[in-house]
Amino acid sequence: MGSRRMPIEGYILLYFLAYLPNIVVTALLTRLPNPALGRPMTGLETLPATLILNLVMTYVFIWWSGWHREAHGVRLLGRRIPVPTRFTLLSGIGTAFIIFTVPLSYTFEGVSIPFIQLLMRGDVLLIAPLIDLLFGRRVRWWSWAAIGIVGLALTTTLYSRGGFALPPLAMLAVILYTLGYFIRLSVMTAVGKTGDPADVRRYFVEEKIFALPLSIAILAALSAAGLGDQADELRFGFVGIWTDPSMVWLVFVALTMTIVSVFSVIILLDPRENAYCVPLERASSLVAGVAASLILAAGWGMRPPSGADLFGAALLIGSIVLLSLAPRWQAARRARPAAPAPD
């Protein structure tokens, strides 16, 4: 799979179609009572198994697809083992922060999925042009316009809620998520956005083979630390959950997470500026979150998205349309033959 075989909008659609069921199932697992526990599972109880399964599926994909051949490697016991460079190692650290905060963000009681998504995605959208400028990349007018639209969506949603009003763990998730993307986008801009499909495959392999084990190790360390109820939840997530009937759904969550991660790296490593690629990817994930909330409200009676959530989503859909059409309009204008000079 290469990053130039279809327009970037095609990958945006595939990303959305994989992300939507992932959010719905994750929300159901953490909001409906678990028969064995007599209560809904927490995000910390579902996260370890999901990440372990995601690691296994990603490694299988890397080997089955042949993408591992593009990565740097070392010989070990007669076999070639992919290894990251110092750059993709750093990107893997940032990605580890992202990996475990995203599914966790769908599970906070009293925090709507569209709101937490808008907050997390909005932060990343605002740092994208800053990274472009730091690396001397040109940011075109339509990318600045998309950033402005996102800023308006964020401001409107925050105002309607009377501020952030997030639980401490949710605030920590937002901070780690934003920091992770700052690290990741910086490395991508420095070494990854070449336009070569082989570099996309190499980057994916080198980043994920380190990021996934690191994210699991972080959770295991928190579990071993024994910090109250959260450590108990993590212990259940690492040990007790494997015999729980919900495992079939966690396998589905991990599978869709793996698919999303492939399309995400293809979109973000597009050679155009971050201020173009990031709004497309982030807005698509937000629209998936709003659609998931509507499905959960209609099918399971959960709280529907507010008017402000829907307005913010509409603005981001507008940013997707702008970023899709504006470059084509400019290309068409440049390709149009100049009018002949009057006699």
- pLDDT tens, position by position, 225-260: 765 567 788 888 999 999 999 999 999 999 999 999
Calpha distance 240→45 (Å, rounded): 9
Place of tokens 């179609």: 17
**Which is higher by pLDDT, 40 or 150?**
40
Q: Of all residues in the chain, what percent carry a pLDDT higher than 70? A: 91
pLDDT of 205 strictly over 90: yes
What value does the mean pLDDT take over residues 263-291?
88
What value does the mean pLDDT take over residues 46-60?
95
pLDDT of residue 224: 80
**Of the given ranges (54-68, 201-215, 228-242), which has the lowest mean pLDDT?**
228-242
- Residue 162's SS3 state is coil
pLDDT of residue 255: 97
pLDDT of residue 107: 67
pLDDT of 108 strictly over 90: no
What value does the mean pLDDT take over residues 107-130?
76
27: its two tokens: 């929300």
302-323 pLDDT, tens per residue?
Answer: 888 888 778 877 887 888 888 8
State the average pLDDT for the chain.
86
pLDDT of residue 287: 83
Whether the predicted model's global pTM rises above the 0.75 cut: yes
Q: How many CB atoms lie within 10 A of CB 80?
A: 13
Q: Taking the alpha carbons of 41, 123, 114, 259 in that order, is the dihedral positive or negative? A: negative
User: First CA to last CA across the chain, in angstroms?
Assistant: 54
Q: Taking the alpha carbons of 111, 32, 41, 37 in that order, is the dihedral positive or negative? A: positive
Q: Of all residues in the chain, what percent carry a pLDDT higher than 90? A: 48
**Which is higher by pLDDT, 216 or 233?**
216
Report which listed range, 142-156, 230-244, 254-268, is most confident: 254-268
**Of the given ranges (97-111, 208-222, 242-256, 295-309), which has the lowest mean pLDDT?**
97-111
Strands 73-76 and 79-82: antiparallel
pLDDT of 10 strictly over 90: yes
230: its two tokens: 């959260």
253: its two tokens: 């969550």
pLDDT of residue 2: 43
**Which is higher by pLDDT, 219 or 300?**
300
Backbone angles phi, psi at 199, to 5 degrees: -70, -30
- Residue 336's SS3 state is coil
Calpha distance 290→312 (Å, rounded): 10
**Which letter does DSSP use for residue 41 in this model?**
P
pLDDT of 121 strictly over 80: no
Do residues 283 and 319 make contact, with C-beta atoms less than 8 angstroms apart? yes
Question: C-alpha distances in angstroms, 251 versus 53, 61, 178?
Answer: 7, 15, 27
pLDDT of residue 228: 56
248: its two tokens: 């079939």
Confidence of residue 4 (pLDDT cuts 50, 70, 90): very low
